[in-house]
A and B are shown apart, each in its own frame.
Chain A
Amino acid sequence: MGSYDRLATPLRKTQTTSGPAAAPPQLCRFARSALRVAFCALRFARCALRFRPFPSARHLNSIGRLSGSILAVGLALGLLPALAAPRSPFSPASPQAASIADLFWFTLIAAGLIFLGVEGTILYSAFAHRERPGREASQFHGNTRVEIIWTALPALLLLVVFYLTVRTMHDISAPPGDPVEINVVGHQWWWEFSYPKEDVTTANELHVPVGEPILLHVTSADVIHSFWVPQLAGKQDANPGHVNDITFTVSAPGTYLGQCAEFCGIEHTWMAIRVVAEPPAQYAAWVKAQQQPASRPTSNLAILGETIFQSQTCGSCHAIAGTSANGVAGPSLTHVGSRATIGAGVLDNTPANMERWLLNPQDVKPGVLMPNSKLTPNDAKALAAYMESLR
């Protein structure tokens, strides 16, 4: 304590002599803590090197407590704004996601209250029942009545949570009447969306009408993936050989982001989902546009690009309706120009990015199954122009 006092005394003096102009006491306290930290660190380094006992280990505990509480407040403040962000299950955009969010809030608040109670009791006993001269620990062994109470109360709370769980899971899984049905197939590392009634196939960007029930049949063409768009519904795995259903009704137009949630190989990271929810009329227009075969290129560059596409092996993996390209290993390119991203979210869909992607996909998305076709920069530019013309 002695050396600490020597440091602290001058500070106190400054505070008393400088009258009303003195720094606020909090500031002084803060400065003192800072000094104390620096001082302890110095002493610590010296003692640690010589492996000597450290005289003011007591101070360490107070510094630790201080930084611990600053951290706790910081983390709590960080919590709130984060929850309203896009891609959060706490900003739901469908009744299904909204019921999950309600249930989530309920469990979160219940858990938070228990947390405060238990944590408070721990800290209280740790401080209030510290060893002091003259304090004898009571030698009691247990109390059956107390044990029964703290077994029964959590059991009752869990019973309520369980009831809400079962009710919610049945509510949000109920199959809707006359839904828009879409087959979702996970591939390494992109999503195939096909609308069997409308005879439309697209990739990575799912268009749905607002206000109508949607039913997704989710499966996989290779390994296990998981379809997750937090604002619309909980996730379901895409298992090879199984079909899992997801149902939701989007309540507001907008773009909702999601991502594959089950590790599915080297590019699991770039297997994003964009759900574009539009009013029914706009959706119908989109369907109509998608049903058309690919538009013919008009600019010279794009026409050159089409020739390159036909001369390369592109068509054995990709399909472009209305041409001889009919591959199914990669995403359909019939309307690739109308999609917002390239490579399942890795790049925004701009001509420059498309060119970069075509020049060497392995550079943009290492491990992607699309090989490097070793195009010349001019060929890549032309091919990119053709891709962008496919709207």
Chain B
Amino acid sequence: MAEQTRGYVPTYPTITAPTGLWRWVATVDHKDIGVLYIVTTLVFFLIGGLEAMFIRLQLIAPNAKVLDPETYDEFFTMHGTTMVFLTVMPLLIGFANYLVPLMIGARDMAFPRLNAMSYWLLLFGGLLLYFSFLAGQAPNGMWFMYVPQTLPPYTTGPGPNYWAAGLLVTSVGTIAASINLTVTILLLRAPGMAITRLPLFVWTVLVNSFLILWALPPLAAAMVMMLLDRLVGTHFFDVSAGGNVLLYEHLFWFLGHPEVYILILPVFGMVSETIPVFARKPIFGYTFIAASTVAIAFLAMSVWAHHMFTSGMGLTEDTFFSAASMLIAIPTGVKVFNWVATMWRGAIRWTSSMLFSIGFIGEFIIGGLTGPMLATVPVDWQVHDSYFIVAHLHYVFFGGSVMGIFAAAYYWYPKITGRLMSENLGKWHFWLTIVGLNLTFFPMHLNGLLGMPRHVYTYPNLPGLAELNFWETIGAFILATAVVVFVWNVVASVRFGRIAGNDPWDAWTLEWATASPPPPYNFASIPPVRSRRPLWDLKHPENPDPR
């Protein structure tokens, strides 16, 4: 131990490492915090998924009475809020926490204590949000919590207060985590790890952190205004006192749309790591993938009002936001083409991780192609706030983010636990997910085209609706089965998985140069970084990577 840590300059006071449960409470190690993030968000994912199952059960037949309308609205709101704010966003931060220092050859994050604070704010913010169920009313105004619906007299219970307060707490943690990641990536890179050699996952995390810093504060402002309106009696959104309800919509979507990219950019980075490794090729067009990430982030800041084409902003504003939203399809398309080109003429290994990466591209483009259709303003006037949007957003969130996260889970699990996940269960998981995902979400396009609006707790027995909704519910249960298989795989592989070794995938980035799981100081000595694939250079000294 003593000679291994030689040369290690601690950035925080060395303390005797506690063991047992206390280790997880006291830890400031980025890997422990990363694991805490991932486990916590997995639990929130299961809770949010359970809420979705109840929603789908209620919609299994016209005029079904599984949930009463009030509970249905609460579950619906909590499903969206949980999945966006307590699952995917913090899960990606958790992965970044674990992987970024390893991938850039650092010992830890720049601010380990701040890092711990970010995590605990997430947990307690989430608990505060869920405490609302015990306090008598969970938030019930859907995940966007539009005013004046969420203000008295329309909502008098405490639900929106818990929503705003809980998310304020997690937002502070998220902002702190973004600052931490930005500083880490900019300042703690290993010698030779130029910004042009950063692994693409780190690139996307860097861009994403800037995007979070840009987008989250306006949401915090909106939530503070809502709390003031509700608790102190201000009139930010009270029309009769000169307030404006569209102000809230603008503030919310000023976060809400960049949020969509916040939930997908690091996933783009993840599959940009897995696809090359399993295709046994360098990534095609590294520069273009990195540059298109930056382009998406910039454009993401000017597309928020495409959620408001029907709010009556006027044709001039509609035109601007339509153009910006269509533009964002171009860098996104560039990424997809580059991934496909990376697979081209490779020697593709059909591991579970690769299947999910391929599935990610295949499913994500369905959401990606309906995106520009929604930027087509008159089409949006028709399908906005209908189930068509529900289909679109789930293809992006589930078909995109979650599929990519599954790919990342199979890929990095051996690094985190030292054991491989079961490939057989992985394949069951994959195919059940593909069938369940498409059976659940594809017909939702049609629900929307049959005039079914979002957020309804039931629907009239009009032609087609009953059949579509029935099959969607079946699909949702197949999807739930897939998740159960996945969770079992995650839990059981800790004990029963095959021992992975340092580098089970024969990969090329720095995290595979150290033990699995890595020691507290990460690297005994950091391998030399002379290209984008430092481990390739070590393994193929005769043919080093040129870039």
Residues of chain A lying within 8 A (CB to CB) of residue B348: 125-126, 129-131
Determine if B381 and A235 form an interchain contact, defined as CB atoms under 8 angstroms apart.
Answer: yes
Instruction: Decide if A125 touches B344 in the complex (CB within 8 Å).
Output: yes
- On whether the beta carbons of B358 and A85 are closer than 8 Å, the reply is no
Closest 7 CB pairs of A and B: A234-B381, A64-B431, A54-B424, A87-B451, A244-B312, A137-B280, A241-B239
A234 to B70, CA, bound (A): 29
Chain B interfacial residues counted at CB < 8 A? 111
- Which residue on chain B has the smallest CB distance to residue A137? B280
> Taking CB as reference atom, which chain A residue is nearest B463?
A85
CB pair A224 B149 closer than 8 Å: yes
Contacts A141-B286, A261-B384 known; A107 to B334 CB distance under 8 Å? no
| B94 CB, min distance to chain A CBs, angstroms | 26
The segment out of A98-106, A191-199, A276-284, A377-385 that lies at the interface is A98-106
Chain A residues with Cβ below 8 Å from B428 are 44, 60
Is there contact, CB below 8 Å, between B142 and A236?
no
Which of A107, A146, A241, A261 is B385 in contact with, Cβ under 8 Å?
A261
Q: Is B329 an interface residue (CB 8 A)?
A: yes
Q: Convert B287-312 into 0s and 1s, putting 1 for each residue whose CB lies closer than 8 angstroms to a CB of A.
A: 11000000000000000000000111
A51 touches B341 (CB 8 A): no
**B439 to A222, Cβ gap below 8 A?**
no
* Cα distance, A191 to B489, chains bound together (Å): 52
Q: Which of B281, B382, B425, B455 contacts A234 (CB 8 A)?
A: B382
B481 within 8 A of A: no
Query: What 1/0 mask marks residues of chain A from 219 to 238 whose CB sits below 8 Å from any chain B CB?
Result: 00011101010100111110
- The stretch from A15-23, A168-176, A298-306, A325-333 touching chain B is A168-176
Which stretch from B121-129, B221-229, B372-380 is at the chain A interface? B372-380
Residue B7 at the chain A interface, CB threshold 8 Å: no
Name which of B16-24, B185-193, B441-449 contacts chain A.
B441-449
B218 within 8 A of A: no
- What are 21 A-B residue pairs whose CB atoms fall within 8 Å in the complex? A51-B496, A60-B424, A60-B431, A88-B450, A90-B449, A104-B379, A119-B365, A129-B348, A130-B350, A131-B349, A138-B345, A140-B281, A141-B547, A150-B334, A165-B378, A169-B378, A259-B451, A259-B456, A261-B385, A262-B146, A269-B456
Residues of B participating in the A interface, judged by any CB pair closer than 8 Å: 68-70, 73, 140-142, 146, 148-149, 154-155, 239, 244-246, 279-288, 310-312, 315, 318-319, 322-323, 326-327, 329-330, 333-334, 336-338, 340-341, 343-350, 355, 358, 361-362, 365-366, 369-370, 372-373, 375-386, 422-425, 427-428, 430-431, 434-435, 438-439, 442-443, 446, 449-451, 453-460, 462-464, 468, 488, 492, 496, 543, 546-547
Of the candidates A85, A86, A235, A258, the one whose C-beta lies within 8 Å of that of B384 is: A235
Q: B434 — which chain A residues lie within 8 A by C-beta?
A: 64, 68
Given known contacts A89-B449, A103-B379, A257-B451, A222 and B312 CB-to-CB distance under 8 angstroms: no
Known: A87-B462, A103-B376, A125-B348. A266 touches B70 (CB 8 A): yes
Nearest-neighbour CB distance to chain A for B9, whole angstroms, equals 36
A155 to B334, CA, bound (A): 11
**Per a CB cutoff under 8 Å, which of A126, A233, A269 touches B459?**
A269
Query: What are the residues of chain A within 8 A of B379 when measuring CB–CB?
Result: 100, 103-104, 107
Distance of A172 Cα from B378 Cα, bound (Å): 9
- Chain A residues lying within 8 Å of B148, measured Cβ to Cβ, are 222-224, 240
Residues of A within 8 A of B547 (CB): 141
Judging by beta carbons under 8 Å apart, are B279 and A269 in contact? no
B-facing residues in A250-287 (Cβ within 8 Å): 257-269, 272
A263 to B145, CA, bound (A): 9
Known contacts A142-B285, A224-B245, A267-B69; decide if A104 and B451 are in contact (CB<8 Å).
Answer: no
- Give the contacts of A129-188 with B (CB-CB under 8 A): 129-132, 135-143, 146-147, 150-151, 154-155, 158, 161-162, 164-166, 168-170, 172-173, 188
Pairwise interchain contact A129-B344, C-beta atoms closer than 8 A: yes
The reply to whether B69 and A366 contact each other, CB–CB distance below 8 Å, is yes
Known A75-B442, A131-B350, A141-B283; 20 more pairs at CB < 8 Å: A44-B428, A61-B350, A72-B438, A78-B443, A86-B463, A89-B383, A99-B378, A104-B382, A114-B369, A115-B365, A119-B365, A130-B348, A138-B346, A165-B376, A173-B315, A222-B154, A235-B310, A263-B146, A268-B456, A366-B68
Q: Which residues of A contact B361 (CB under 8 A)?
A: 122
- Taking the closest CB of chain A, its distance from the CB of B467, in whole angstroms, is 8
Most buried by A among B282, B287, B378, B462: B378
Q: Would B382 and A100 count as touching, CB distance under 8 A? A: yes
Measured between beta carbons, the chain B residues less than 8 angstroms from A68 are 431, 434-435, 438
Instruction: Specify which chain A residues have a CB less than 8 angstroms from the CB of B382 in the assembled complex.
Output: 89, 97, 100, 104, 230, 234-235
B431 to A154, Cβ gap below 8 A?
no
Q: A100-B378, A142-B285, A263-B455 in contact; A122/B346 too (CB < 8 A)?
A: no
Contact B451 A263 (CB under 8 A): no
A71 adjacent to chain B (CB < 8 Å): yes
Given contacts A136-B347, A244-B312, contact A87 B381 (CB under 8 A): no
Q: Mark A287-304, 1 if CB is under 8 A from B, else 0.
A: 000000000000000000
B346→A137 contact, CB < 8 A = yes
Among A44, A107, A165, A243, chain B packs the most CB atoms within 10 A around the CB of A165
Tell which of A47, A123, A129 has the most Cβ of chain B within 10 Å.
A129
Question: Chain A residues with Cβ under 8 A from B386's Cβ?
Answer: 228, 261
A57 part of interface (Cβ distance < 8 Å): yes
B453 touches A261 (CB 8 A): yes
Q: How far is the CB of A127 from chain B (nearest CB, A)?
A: 9
B370's nearest neighbour on chain A, judged by CB, is A111
CA distance A88 to B333 in the complex (A): 30
